[in-house]
């Protein structure tokens, strides 16, 4: 069999199950660190419940993903996850899901591993959302998940610091209302309202236009030009205010 015939025959097996996202649908890629609990506690020995270095690595990885060839409108990270909202008219790779899954996971893994100087792996999957309202709902979901995770993490590691085992700390927190968890922390001298916002709400990255002073070599004059750059926001609003923030971002 000549090569061209063999090539055509074998590519059928590689592409026969290709799935492409329909035009007009919004795509949100969500990436999660694989085995990051063990990585950050045992291998990297980072501070619990939150370590600013880890947060910086996650935001820098998000920044990298927004600059690696995809048209990403908004990036959001909390804990060991990253969510990327791609432009509604994104057509890279013909909107083939296998390309988005493999490339984004590989880019995130390589970037984070370089920053942490340790082997790290992300997985990726894409949500296909039919409307702006569903996009807002998605990021509201992740934002509110961040708040719950942060409260649980502070309670859990406070109990661990008192000598409790992982099992007993988990058991003592099971079924507790949010108000009871806040009261427990307050009794231990921790005001959850004063915890840094990036721990409770995550961080967002989005594009803004900023004025820069440029120099025209032909006229020798300085001019004002607009440059697009990524803004990191680690003090995001929450609940309805976060929804309004997202709606305004998508309208701009």
State the residue for tokens 């923030």: 245
How far apart are alpha carbons 51 and 245 in whole angstroms? 27
In tens digits, the chain (252 residues) has pLDDT values of: 688 888 888 787 777 678 999 999 999 999 999 999 999 999 999 999 999 999 999 999 999 999 999 999 999 999 999 999 999 999 999 999 999 999 999 999 999 999 999 999 999 999 999 999 999 999 999 999 999 999 999 999 999 999 999 999 999 999 999 999 999 999 999 999 999 999 999 999 999 988 777 777 777 777 777 788 999 999 999 999 999 999 999 987
Torsion angles phi and psi, residue 112, rounded to 5: -65, -40
246 domain-assigned: no
Q: Are residues 130 and 218 in the same domain?
A: no
Q: Are residues 118 and 164 in the same domain?
A: yes
Q: Are residues 131 and 181 in the same domain?
A: yes
Residue 128: DSSP 8-state: E
Q: Are residues 52 and 146 in the same domain?
A: yes
How far apart are alpha carbons 233 and 198 in whole angstroms? 9
248 domain-assigned: no
- Give me the domain span that covers residue 228: 201-240
Close Cβ partners of 5 (under 8 Å, ≥ 6 residues apart): none
Q: Are residues 210 and 123 in the same domain?
A: no
Close Cβ partners of 13 (under 8 Å, ≥ 6 residues apart): none
Q: Are residues 216 and 103 in the same domain?
A: no
pLDDT at 1: 67
How far apart are alpha carbons 243 and 231 in whole angstroms? 18
Q: Are residues 166 and 213 in the same domain?
A: no
How far apart are alpha carbons 56 and 58 in whole angstroms? 5
| Nearest one of 140, 148, 146 to 85, comparing CA atoms | 140
Q: Are residues 209 and 92 in the same domain?
A: no
Q: Are residues 176 and 227 in the same domain?
A: no
pLDDT at 5: 83
Q: Are residues 106 and 35 in the same domain?
A: yes
Q: Are residues 205 and 100 in the same domain?
A: no
**Structural domain total, the chain:** 2
Q: What SS3 state is found at 174?
A: coil
Q: Are residues 230 and 156 in the same domain?
A: no
170 domain-assigned: yes
């Amino acid at each position: 069999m000549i090569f061209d015939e063999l090539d055509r025959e074998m590519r059928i097996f590689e592409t026969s199950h290709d799935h492409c996202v329909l035009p007009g649908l919004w795509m949100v890629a969500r990436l999660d660190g694989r085995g990051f609990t063990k990585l950050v506690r045992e291998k990297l020995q980072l501070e619990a419940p939150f370590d600013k270095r880890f947060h910086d690595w996650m935001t820098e990885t998000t920044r990298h993903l927004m600059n690696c060839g995809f048209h990403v409108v908004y990036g959001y990270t909390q804990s060991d996850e990253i969510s990327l909202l791609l432009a509604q008219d994104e057509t890279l790779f013909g909107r083939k899901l296998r390309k988005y899954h493999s490339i984004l996971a590989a880019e995130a893994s390589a970037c984070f591993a370089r920053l942490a100087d340790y082997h790290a792996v992300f997985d990726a999957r894409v949500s296909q959302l039919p409307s702006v309202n569903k996009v807002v709902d998605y990021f509201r979901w992740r934002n509110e998940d961040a708040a719950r995770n942060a409260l649980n993490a502070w309670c859990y590691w406070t109990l661990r610091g008192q000598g409790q085992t992982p099992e007993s700390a988990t058991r003592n927190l099971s079924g507790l209302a949010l108000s009871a968890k806040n009261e427990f922390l307050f009794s231990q001298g921790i005001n959850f309202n004063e915890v840094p916002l990036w721990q409770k709400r995550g961080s967002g990255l989005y594009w803004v236009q900023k004025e820069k002073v440029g120099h025209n070599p032909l006229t020798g004059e300085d001019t004002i030009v607009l440059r697009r750059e990524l803004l990191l926001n680690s003090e995001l609003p929450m609940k309805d205010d976060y929804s309004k923030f997202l709606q305004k971002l998508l309208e701009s």
